[in-house]
Amino acid sequence: MKRIFNLILFALALIPVQGQTVVSLHGTAPADARTIYLYDDLGLQNMFDSVSVVDGKWQYESIRPAQQIVMTLISDVAMKSQNTSGVITLMVDTISTEVDMVAGMVKGSKASNAIHNTIKGLYACMQKQRTSDYDPKDEALTLMRSAVMDNLDSMLPVLLVPMIADGMTIGDLQKVFYEGAPYANHPNMRNAKQRLAFLSGNSVRSLGKLFTDLKMNDTDGKEHSLSEWCGKGRYVLIDFWASWCGPCRAEMPNVVACYEKYHAQGLDIIGISFDTQKDAWLRAITDLNMPWIHLSDLAGWKSLGASIYEIRSIPSNILLDGTGKIIDIDLRGAMLDARLSQLFSK
């Protein structure tokens, strides 16, 4: 009877108590490693546990409190050498996770894989130099945004949204705070929720709103209105850019590819440039092979496009349906093609 009682107690210990998470990790470490240290933050500030390494192998099981959503691992060898490639970041979840601390690889939940690869990418960005055509900050923001938007069914946004909230668009925030989001009431998300509340009531870029018309000249100096194309039955991407904007130029081959792929199916693009020099604007259109409609008032950041559509950074875009309603904004890279593919496959 005593043995059975003990077995029951052991079994109960393996069941997550309300508000706790059973964590199971195992993997390899450098041959000369003796200890792996575990921290409950991204910055290696608060060590909460450690585990011994035997012949390059280790295993860790623990019940973690509900408020802990991330753990960072580093071996004594990596710590002594200050080797950031030896830092492993994981989500605290119930998925059994394999960690290769030699190769810096993780096999666990989708969110754990994402946060680990994102942190690795951010470390890499820190080593890069800014140039006239490249800003590592832009790459870092893109990495974090992609990780967030691809893992909205996990607690990962709690880690990254606070770092990028001020630059997130209303469209992103509306997606982040979907009904039933598991992190919606987490204290770390307070500022982002406040930003969404502010933008939702006032922004002309809110999803579901009709486009706001404006008038600008084309490349020949002829005045046009957005309403000549918007709300006429075709999807319209209003693309905000400038010839002097490095990230805009880097993104343009992707936009061109999407135009060539979907234009015949019902997609138009209207480029609104924040240039000030007409020659530079026209030269960029030719050099970047942008065959769609182009408008500009050559007013830079004082452009009507910036003021009317509350554009604070470029590249930026607004996607309209056939009725002229906004259905998405700020689609870049693979997200643009994925969204268009979804629309035109219906």
Distance between CA atoms of 38 and 72, rounded to whole angstroms?
6
Reported as a single tens digit per residue, the pLDDT across 165-192 is 877 877 889 899 999 999 999 999 998 9
CA-CA distance, 51 to 62, in Å (whole number)? 11
**What is the 8-class DSSP label of residue 102?**
T
Q: Which residues pair with 28 in a beta bridge?
A: 57, 100
Q: Which of 7-11, 81-85, 137-141, 148-152 has the lowest mean pLDDT?
A: 7-11
Strand partners of residue 74: 37
According to DSSP, the residues that pair with 59 across neighbouring strands are: 26
Within 10 angstroms of residue 20's Cβ, the number of other Cβ atoms is 15
Q: Which amino acid is at 288?
A: L
pLDDT in tens, 267-310: 999 999 999 999 999 999 999 999 999 999 999 999 999 999 98
| R_g over Cα of the chain | 25
CB 298 within 8 A of CB 305: no
312-345 burial string, b = 16+ CB within 10 Å, else e?
eebbbbbbbbeebebbbbbbbeebbbebbeebee
Residue 323 has pLDDT above 50, yes or no: yes
Say yes or no to pLDDT of 10 above 90: no
How many Cβ atoms sit within 10 Å of the Cβ of residue 140? 19
pLDDT attached to residue 3: 39
Task: Determine the pLDDT at residue 15.
Answer: 36
Whether the upstream peptide bond of residue 315 has omega within 30° of 0, thus cis, is: yes
Q: What's the confidence (pLDDT) of residue 14?
A: 35
With CA atoms as reference, report the closest residue to 240 among 331, 115, 323: 331
For 33-58, what is each residue's pLDDT tens digit?
999 999 998 888 999 999 999 999 99
pLDDT in tens, 92-141: 999 999 999 999 999 999 999 999 999 999 888 888 887 876 778 878 88
Computed over every residue of the chain, the mean pLDDT equals 88
For residues 39 and 7, is the Cβ–Cβ distance under 8 A? Answer: no
